[in-house]
Amino acid sequence: MHSFLRKLVTLEAYRSSYHKASHGYSGGANGDIACDLYHKYKEDVQLMGDTGLEAYRFSISWSRLIPGGRGPVNPKGLQFYNNYIDELISHGIQPHATLFHSDLPQALEDEYGGWLSRKIVKDFTAYAEVCFKEFGDRVMYWTTINEANIYAIGGYDIAITPPRRCSSPFGVNCSRGNSSNEPYIVVHNMLLAHSSAMKLYRRNYKSTQHGFVGFNIYGLWCIPYTNASADVSAAERANEFYTGWIVNPFIFGDYPSIMKKASGTRIPTFTKYEAKLVKGSVDFIGLNHYTTAPVKDKPSSTENHSRDFITDMEAEVSLAALTADQYPVIPSGLYELLEYLKEAYGNLPIYIHENGQKTRRNGTLHDTSRIEYLHAYIGSVLDAVRNGSDIRGYFAWSFLDGLELLGGYVPSYGLYYVDLDDKELTRYPKLSAYWYANFLKGKNSTNSAIFQAGDKLIPIYKS
């Protein structure tokens, strides 16, 4: 059992830097430097090796590789990613690359509205080809888009994330956008862009590179608030909206019928060609899971002509856990989500791309709550594997304390603390780092010497 988990468990990278982070959702913090991976990647990769990682998921920034969105490639960006990938491989760490992680080149947003336009399909496919061509001889695992469902809702319905579009009465401080249809349009174009990139990969690169291409979603698991049949149905609808919205087209070539009925003409329709292109266009689904949400039935008035994704769902999803200092430990939620995906969508291959506990940054290095969380959720993954789920890997979020999109530098997810007040940005191991390293190496993680190190500032290295 333990040796199997060591192969199954890997570790997540911290989030790629977000450009020009808005004061509204990150406290004014930005990712211009963040953890300074650009200069410290060799030391960080060494630390990954010392921790015992066998794989590492990171994001390639479209904006840094091709600043104009299309056209000339930035040679410094290209060189950095080549160096980074080579460094990972030299330490026996398998690279898993994500192509879009919320940082769209501003030029494409200005020119045609970014993901709101079908024009992005061509530009994204060209960007993906640059990555396949330049890095695909060493990168075998590609994720085209990260958290497509939450990117669309957060950025085009409630406007708490870039590009902060919404329309009244939905969203926050709406000044532009249309919450009623833009989230649906954005996801539609993301699915088309992904499937176009996949078609290109299968045609031009699969036979020589032998890689795999997947798509990532935010895996919120919804459960009924009460045992009342209305709440049970509401939770089922919510799961169809949050998860089926993305996965259903990949398996069946269309959106869930309940979504189409609720949204009507506001959700785009797949042509026969598009449906054929999208269906079967994933080698795996990447899953980001943090918590479980209780759901109440909330019928929408048929007289309400102003509707959005949330109104269409006709369910009240409690997201209080997302704003708390720590997530509740509910590992059954991840197990049930994995069972749902297995039963509803034919047991497609899954990577847990993100899973981790949030704490207050600088709170303590003695982060026992993170150990409790990781231990419980890794156990639920093992239970799902034992019950037949085709889970190929697990990445904990996150390696270092980095810039978080919604909280800036306030929340902490890392196994390693980064001292932002130190010009060297020194990394310090938390108790969870010792626990995780010993877990991966098959050692007793309750060794007293490990716990004694928990609250001491022990620098791993300085540059």
Instruction: List, by residue number, the catalytic residues.
Output: 147, 354
Distance separating alpha carbons of residues 101 and 147, to the nearest angstrom: 8
* Backbone φ/ψ region at 399: left (φ over 0), alpha (ψ -120 to 50), beta: alpha
Facing residues of 352 across strands? Answer: 287, 394
Element (H, E) at 272: helix 272-278
8-state DSSP, 104? -
**How far is CA 280 from each of CA 123, 258, 348, rounded to the nearest angstrom?**
22, 21, 10
Dihedral over Cα of 424, 53, 282, 81: its sign: positive
Interstrand relation of 292-297 and 315-317 (parallel, antiparallel or unpaired): antiparallel
Mark 229-262 as b/e (b = at least 16 C-beta within 10 Å).
ebbbebbbbbbbbbbbbbbbbbbbbbbbebbeeb
Ordered DSSP codes for 180-240: TTHHHHHHHHHHHHHHHHHHHHHHHTHHHH--EEEEEEE--EEEESSSSHHHHHHHHHHHI
Contact 190, 145 (CB under 8 A): yes
Q: Is residue 321 classed as helix, strand or coil in its secondary structure?
A: helix
**How far is CA 153 from each of CA 134, 158, 178, 205, 344, rounded to the nearest angstrom?**
33, 6, 11, 33, 23
Work out the number of other CB atoms within 10 angstroms of the CB of residue 137: 13
Distance separating alpha carbons of residues 433 and 52, to the nearest angstrom: 10
8-state DSSP, 461? B
Angle of helix 368-386 relative to helix 431-440, nearest 10 degrees? 30
